[in-house]
Amino acid sequence: MNEREILATELRWGAVVAAAVGLIVGVIVVSSAALIMHPPSNVETINPGTLHIEGEFVEANLGTRVGADGAVVTRMIATQFAFVPRCIAVPAGRPVTIRVTSPDVIHGFLITGTNVNTMVIPGYVSQVRTVFNRPGDRLMPCHEFCGLGHSEMWNIVRIVPEAEWKVDQQGRASCDGPG
Ligand code: CUA
């Protein structure tokens, strides 16, 4: 093999690598811009030791609530080994903000068939905003190994068609219906 052939081989190899890098960058750009997939950007701290006694994540405030301004906010606790509440109801076709935190270890969750996917870290509030377009029940598993019960840790997300969406006087919605 002479020097010319070696150079040609290296240039071919360089072209293959450049094409691979270009493809990967293209996939990242398309998935983030067109499919709206990107890392969650919310940075908000909270004391994991007092979640159950004060503030936003006390048990009575968990679940889905529609505010006076019409904004839909769902709050959950991710704890070994369950999400609380076990089922959340959300309206189809409207922006929904999901806020989750953990009192114990790192968890994570995704909602099947949607772009919702984030980690849940003690001391931080994970927040995801999305619109659920197709009504029906979706699975929401914990996707971060959190201990022996990890595989049993999952939730149901009930996406309710707009025509059937109802809340009680406090603006709350649950999987059992209003109230
Ligand atoms: Cu929680 Cu795995």
Ligand 1 atom closest to residue 107's alpha carbon, by position in its atom list: 1
Maximal CA-CA distance, the chain: 83
Is the CB of residue 126 less than 8 Å from the CB of residue 77? no
Is the CB of residue 168 less than 8 Å from the CB of residue 179? yes
Residue 27 phi, psi (nearest 5): -65, -40
Q: What is the pLDDT of residues 97-128, one digit of tens each?
A: 999 999 999 999 999 989 899 999 999 999 99
- For the chain, give the mean pLDDT: 92
Ligand 1: centre distance to CA 139 (Å) = 14
Q: Which two tokens stand for residue 10?
A: 């290296």
**Of 116, 114, 97, nearest in space to 39 by CA:** 116
Mean pLDDT confidence for 5-20: 96
Whether 160 is in the pocket of ligand 1, judged by its Cβ within 6 Å, is no
**Of 145, 150, 110, 118, nearest in space to 44 by CA:** 118
Lowest-confidence pick of 28-37, 139-148, 167-176: 28-37
Question: From the DSSP assignment, how many helices (H) and strands (E) are in the chain?
Answer: 1, 11
Ligand 1: centre distance to CA 109 (Å) = 8
Mean pLDDT confidence for 6-34: 94
Whether 146 is in the pocket of ligand 1, judged by its Cβ within 6 Å, is yes
Residue 164 has pLDDT above 50, yes or no: yes
Q: Which two tokens stand for residue 98?
A: 């999901």
Ligand 1: centre distance to CA 83 (Å) = 9
pLDDT at 35: 79
Q: HSE of 136 in the Cβ direction (CA atoms, 13 Å)?
A: 8
Is the CB of residue 146 less than 8 Å from the CB of residue 39? no
Number of CB atoms found within 10 A of residue 159's CB: 22
Residue 149 has pLDDT above 80, yes or no: yes
Ligand 1 atom closest to residue 146's alpha carbon, by position in its atom list: 2
Number of CB atoms found within 10 A of residue 108's CB: 20
pLDDT at 177: 64
pTM of the prediction?
A: 0.78
Mean pLDDT confidence for 6-31: 95
Residue 178 has pLDDT above 60, yes or no: no
Q: What is the pLDDT of residues 61-96, one digit of tens each?
A: 999 999 889 899 999 999 999 999 999 999 999 999
